């Protein structure tokens, strides 16, 4: 008969035989896993009827309510579930929980496009660190961001989440964000890898492009970010690339990402992305999110029938375990659920002000002088500020500071009866436009915003008499699931917005008073037809929850604007080369997550497939040769001071060249400047359009320079940075010959130049 001691010994020896993650080697843990456990680990827990957690688009109730998903725990092997949550502008979790009086608000930081407009890696890193701290303190392990798809076309509905039309600026900004978040002890997920440049039919669209455009434009930013910041994870995109779904693309996920770039983290799918689960495992897409029962079944079947080698599965399992052991949840971190939201509000306020771009400032309209005491704020968005875009890039923040409140906080008086008029109108409109409570997607879609109004003549006369200056705020919002439209109210001003702008400008100018336009937008809008009307234009972007305070800081001059455009503002949409192949006029009959696509027998241009016929001619790479089509150029942004650039030098050494230049603040107030280094390659002549006229190769933001103060900066270019992709050679090639380094504060206008030779 077995004694009690014998029983205990038996149990202990059994436990000793069951390896535990963290205590025993990953090899031993994998060796102890059943096929079923392995397959469960490579797909998330969002499997209705399988794990008990229901597969809601981007929201789980597991562990951290409102997070996007969790991985599968295997308690007998000491493998915990880890938590993944959006997104690029701050952590997205549910702000309230059932039977819990506490709140779980997160900070809405500025959208990605604004952060890229700072051209300030150190600042972006600080934003990332604050964001990462909220991830850590709310019990989340991996933040699903940053997002760095290229602004191929200004009407992509998610451009606000993304950084730039330029891969270098995108890659450097993403690298800074990853470093910042990960220094808080949590992971990131670079997304959406790759060539995810439209929302229309995003789950089945086939992006068709040359290897050169793929390498130079669409992969380059990811390459930079992977090499410079080693993100814990990467999220593959929904779309196909030249016929193969990104998550099923082994060349992309294994040969290029890991083989060429040295990525050692995990790749996860976008939510419900990809079709063929065993193909995804084989491609090196380690984790399938949020996880579906048929994925489980097909992978188990494929291993059993030998069509998927178990080694492929084991490799992905190993990478997921290597990720899990790094996470705070695995390490038993006791999160507080109480991050320092006040400190993070200060970070978002500062970063938002630094990314705002002063597009026009005639007659020194800004900063507001001592004579300006009372302000009349026109435009719905002055009272209902848009802090960010919608969809998974949204954040559940506790508040958003409106422009009106920001101005009041800065000590300005404003026209209160005008404010009352707008508020009453906005309340009535919001009631009328209430989202359909029976539509579960409504929370993800841009809400219908109040229609613009034009105050009547008498009201306008009162406003002019009672204020020293007018602001006219124009707002736009967009988000996941839909692209923007080439329509009034989106790309174009509505008739009412135009009338409002004209009426206000006429009335204020007649009284010798100035008008400032504030653009509260997530992406490019048409500006060429109206930019002559106001005295100043401040591009405030979607500036996060402290937006109104950040705008007021810039208007008042507490912050001297130093943001620069991360994209070209084209005068005419149809001049943008990609607009010939973009669904700007498509009205969708079906929600995007029920994909069409060639598998389903449809083959509609720009919907089921999109041809990237413009190739590498994206943004300034096209407009440099067609400057007449530019409304505001790439890299452009004014300051309240002036800067002089001098003493350019190019010194060869090491693996490339060092370009030096001195920047002097030659104006009246302290300010920062962005030093932009472009390089023109030997073939970059007007009659040899194979090369762009010039390309951004490095940039740096100066310190805050006092009037009269100078700073000498050094920018590095490696030989490899000068290479172009050669489809013929199937590789990167650096041409020999004479290059020109061009340095300045914008892609257009005066640039200092220096020649150098590559032998
Ligand atoms: C989006 C991703 C996001 C995921 C989880 C998807 O719909 O495309 O960017 O991270 O949902 O919410």
* Interval 172-230: pLDDT, tens: 999 999 999 999 999 999 999 999 999 999 999 999 999 999 999 999 999 999 999 99
Look at residue 426 and give its three-state secondary structure: helix
pLDDT higher than threshold 90 for residue 11: no
CA-based nearest residue to 281, from 231, 315, 234: 315
pLDDT higher than threshold 90 for residue 2: no
Structure tokens at 573: 């949409």
Q: What integer pLDDT is reported at residue 586 of this predicted model?
A: 83
Q: Is the peptide bond before 87 cis (omega within 30 degrees of 0)?
A: yes
Look at residue 318 and give its three-state secondary structure: helix
Instruction: Kindly give the residue spans of alpha helices, DSSP state H, lying in 511-615.
Output: 547-556
Say yes or no: CB of residue 271 within 6 Å of ligand 1: yes
Distance 490 CA to ligand 1 centre (A): 24
| Ligand 1 pocket test target in 55, 64, 87, 197 with most atoms within 8 Å of CB | 87
Structure tokens at 297: 């079944």
Give the confidence band of 442 by pLDDT, cuts at 50, 70, 90.
confident
**Residue whose CA is at the smallest distance from ligand 1 atom 6:** 271
DSSP state of 533: S
Residue 192 CA: nearest ligand 1 atom is 9
- Measured between its terminal Cα atoms, the distance across the chain in Å is 86
Residues with Cβ < 8 Å from 309, sequence gap 6 or more?
A: 303
**Residue whose CA is at the smallest distance from ligand 1 atom 5:** 58
Q: What is the pLDDT of residues 285-306, one digit of tens each?
A: 999 999 998 999 999 999 999 9
Average pLDDT over residues 509-517: 98
Look at residue 591 and give its three-state secondary structure: coil
Q: What integer pLDDT is reported at residue 6 of this predicted model?
A: 39
Q: Which residue has the higher pLDDT, 391 or 140?
A: 140
Strand partners, 516: 471, 536
CA-based nearest residue to 193, from 274, 290, 99: 274
Q: What integer pLDDT is reported at residue 440 of this predicted model?
A: 66
734-741, long-range: CB within 8 Å, 24+ apart, which pairs?
734/758, 735/681, 735/682, 735/683, 736/682, 737/681, 737/682, 738/682, 739/679, 739/680, 739/681, 739/682, 740/679, 740/680, 740/694, 741/648, 741/650, 741/657, 741/659, 741/677, 741/678, 741/679, 741/717
Distance 270 CA to ligand 1 centre (A): 6
pLDDT higher than threshold 70 for residue 129: yes
Residue with tokens 């067609």: 626
Distance 497 CA to ligand 1 centre (A): 33
pLDDT higher than threshold 60 for residue 352: yes
Say yes or no: CB of residue 86 within 6 Å of ligand 1: yes
Structure tokens at 219: 């992969």
DSSP string, 227-279: HHH--SEEEE-SSEETTEEGGG-HIIIIIIIIIIT---SEEE--TT--S-HHH
Active site residues: 270
| Ligand 1 pocket test target in 68, 90, 92 with most atoms within 8 Å of CB | 68
Taking the C-alpha atoms of residue 431 and residue 160, their distance in angstroms, rounded to an integer, is 27
Residue 189 CA: nearest ligand 1 atom is 10
Taking the C-alpha atoms of residue 635 and residue 624, their distance in angstroms, rounded to an integer, is 12
pLDDT higher than threshold 70 for residue 596: no
pLDDT higher than threshold 90 for residue 687: no
CA-based nearest residue to 491, from 641, 631, 311, 361: 631
Q: What integer pLDDT is reported at residue 590 of this predicted model?
A: 56
Chain-centre distance of CA 420, in angstroms?
35
Q: By the 8 A CB rule, do 600 and 608 touch?
A: no
**Residue whose CA is at the smallest distance from ligand 1 atom 9:** 392
Taking the C-alpha atoms of residue 258 and residue 278, their distance in angstroms, rounded to an integer, is 19
Residue 145 CA: nearest ligand 1 atom is 10
Say yes or no: CB of residue 144 within 6 Å of ligand 1: yes
Distance 69 CA to ligand 1 centre (A): 10
Element (H, E) at 302: helix 293-304
Say yes or no: CB of residue 58 within 6 Å of ligand 1: yes
Distance 392 CA to ligand 1 centre (A): 5
Q: What is the pLDDT of residues 31-88, one digit of tens each?
A: 999 999 999 999 998 744 334 444 344 567 779 999 999 999 999 999 999 999 999 9
Taking the C-alpha atoms of residue 648 and residue 61, their distance in angstroms, rounded to an integer, is 57
Look at residue 729 and give its three-state secondary structure: coil
Look at residue 555 and give its three-state secondary structure: helix
Give the confidence band of 10 by pLDDT, cuts at 50, 70, 90.
very low
In total, the chain counts a number of residues equal to 759
Q: What percent of the chain has pLDDT over 90?
A: 86
Say yes or no: CB of residue 191 within 6 Å of ligand 1: yes
Q: What is the pLDDT of residues 82-103, one digit of tens each?
A: 999 999 999 999 999 999 999 9
Distance 185 CA to ligand 1 centre (A): 22
Give the confidence band of 307 by pLDDT, cuts at 50, 70, 90.
very high
Residue 87 CA: nearest ligand 1 atom is 10
Element (H, E) at 565: none
Residues with Cβ < 8 Å from 9, sequence gap 6 or more?
A: none
Q: What integer pLDDT is reported at residue 9 of this predicted model?
A: 40
Average pLDDT over residues 399-422: 95
| Ligand 1 pocket test target in 69, 71, 83, 86 with most atoms within 8 Å of CB | 86
Q: What does DSSP say about strands 514-520 and 413-414: parallel, antiparallel, or unpaired?
A: unpaired
Angle at which helices 121-137 and 341-355 pack, to 10 degrees?
150
Taking the C-alpha atoms of residue 461 and residue 418, their distance in angstroms, rounded to an integer, is 11
Residues with Cβ < 8 Å from 389, sequence gap 6 or more?
A: 89, 111, 158, 160, 161, 446, 477, 478, 479, 480, 522, 542
Distance 189 CA to ligand 1 centre (A): 11
Q: What does DSSP say about strands 357-361 and 266-268: parallel, antiparallel, or unpaired?
A: unpaired
Look at residue 447 and give its three-state secondary structure: coil
Q: What integer pLDDT is reported at residue 185 of this predicted model?
A: 98
Say yes or no: CB of residue 360 within 6 Å of ligand 1: no
The average confidence (pLDDT) of the chain is 93
The phi, psi pair for 169, rounded to 5°, reads -65, -40
């Amino acid at each position: 008969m077995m004694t009690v001691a014998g029983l205990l010994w038996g149990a202990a020896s059994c436990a000793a035989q069951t390896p535990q993650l963290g205590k025993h080697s990953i090899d031993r843990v994998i060796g102890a896993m059943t096929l079923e456990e392995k397959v469960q680990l490579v797909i998330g827990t969002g499997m209705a009827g399988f794990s008990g957690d229901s597969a809601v688009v981007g929201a789980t109730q597991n562990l951290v309510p409102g997070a996007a998903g969790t991985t599968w725990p295997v308690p007998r092997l000491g493998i915990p579930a880890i938590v993944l949550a959006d997104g690029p502008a701050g952590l997205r979790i549910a702000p309230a929980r059932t039977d819990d009086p506490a709140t779980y608000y997160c900070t809405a930081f500025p959208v990605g496009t604004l952060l890229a407009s700072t051209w300030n890696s150190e600042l972006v890193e600080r934003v990332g660190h604050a964001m990462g701290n909220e991830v850590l303190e709310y019990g989340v392990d991996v933040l699903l961001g940053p997002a760095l798809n290229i602004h191929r076309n200004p009407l992509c509905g998610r451009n606000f989440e993304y950084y730039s039309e330029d891969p270098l600026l995108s890659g450097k900004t993403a690298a800074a964000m990853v470093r910042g978040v990960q220094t808080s002890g949590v992971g990131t997920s670079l997304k959406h890898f790759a060539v995810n440049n439209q929302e229309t039919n995003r789950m089945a669209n086939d992006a068709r492009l040359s290897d050169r455009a793929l390498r130079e434009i669409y992969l380059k930013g990811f390459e930079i970010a992977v090499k410079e910041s080693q993100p814990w994870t990467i999220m593959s995109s929904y779309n196909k690339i030249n016929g193969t779904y990104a998550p099923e693309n082994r060349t992309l996920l294994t040969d290029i990402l890991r083989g060429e770039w040295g990525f050692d983290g995990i790749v996860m799918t976008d939510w419900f992305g990809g079709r063929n689960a065993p193909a995804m495992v084989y491609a090196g897409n380690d984790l399938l999110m949020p996880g579906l029962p048929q994925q489980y079944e097909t992978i188990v079947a494929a291993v059993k029938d030998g069509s998927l080698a178990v080694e492929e599965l084991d490799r992905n399992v190993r990478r997921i375990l290597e990720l899990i052991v790094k996470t705070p949840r695995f390490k038993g971190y006791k999160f507080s659920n109480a991050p320092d939201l006040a400190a993070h509000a200060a970070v978002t306020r500062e970063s938002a002000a630094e990314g705002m771009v002063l597009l026009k400032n005639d007659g020194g309209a800004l900063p507001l002088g001592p004579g300006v005491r009372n302000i009349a704020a026109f435009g719905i968005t002055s009272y209902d500020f848009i802090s960010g875009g919608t969809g998974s890039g949204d954040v559940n923040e506790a508040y958003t500071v409106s422009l009106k409140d920001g101005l009041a906080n800065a000590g300005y008086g404003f026209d209160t009866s005008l404010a009352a008029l707008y508020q009453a109108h906005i309340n009535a409109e919001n009631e009328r436009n209430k989202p359909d409570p029976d539509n579960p997607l409504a929370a993800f879609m841009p809400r219908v915003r109040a229609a613009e109004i034009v105050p009547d003549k008498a009201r306008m006369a009162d406003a002019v008499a009672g204020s020293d200056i007018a602001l006219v705020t124009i707002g736009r919002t967009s988000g996941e699931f839909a692209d923007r439209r080439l329509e009034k109210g989106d790309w174009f001003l509505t008739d009412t917005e135009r009338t409002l702008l004209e009426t206000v400008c006429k009335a204020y100018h007649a009284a010798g008073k100035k008008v400032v336009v504030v653009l509260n937008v997530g992406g490019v809008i048409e500006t060429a037809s109206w930019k002559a009307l106001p005295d100043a234009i401040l591009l405030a972007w979607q500036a996060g929850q402290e937006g109104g305070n950040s705008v007021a800081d810039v208007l008042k001059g507490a912050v001297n604007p130093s943001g620069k455009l991360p994209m070209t503002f084209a005068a005419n949409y149809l001049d943008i080369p990609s607009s010939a192949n973009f669904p700007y006029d498509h009205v969708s009959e079906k929600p995007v997550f029920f994909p069409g696509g060639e598998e389903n027998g449809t083959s509609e241009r720009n919907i089921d497939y999109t041809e990237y016929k413009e190739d590498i001619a994206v943004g300034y790479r096209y407009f440099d040769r067609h400057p007449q089509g530019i409304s505001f150029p790439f890299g452009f942004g004014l300051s309240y001071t002036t800067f002089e650039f001098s003493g350019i030098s190019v010194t060869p050494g090491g693996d490339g060249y060092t370009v030096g230049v001195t920047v002097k603040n030659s104006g009246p107030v302290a300010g920062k400047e962005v030093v932009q280094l472009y390089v023109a390659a030997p073939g970059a002549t007007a009659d040899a359009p194979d090369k762009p006229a010039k390309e951004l190769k490095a940039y740096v933001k100066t310190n805050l320079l006092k009037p009269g103060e100078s700073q000498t900066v050094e920018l590095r270019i490696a030989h490899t940075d000068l290479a172009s992709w050669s489809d013929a050679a199937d590789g990167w090639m650096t041409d020999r010959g004479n290059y020109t380094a061009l340095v300045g504060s914008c892609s257009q206008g005066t640039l200092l130049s220096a020649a150098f030779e590559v032998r």
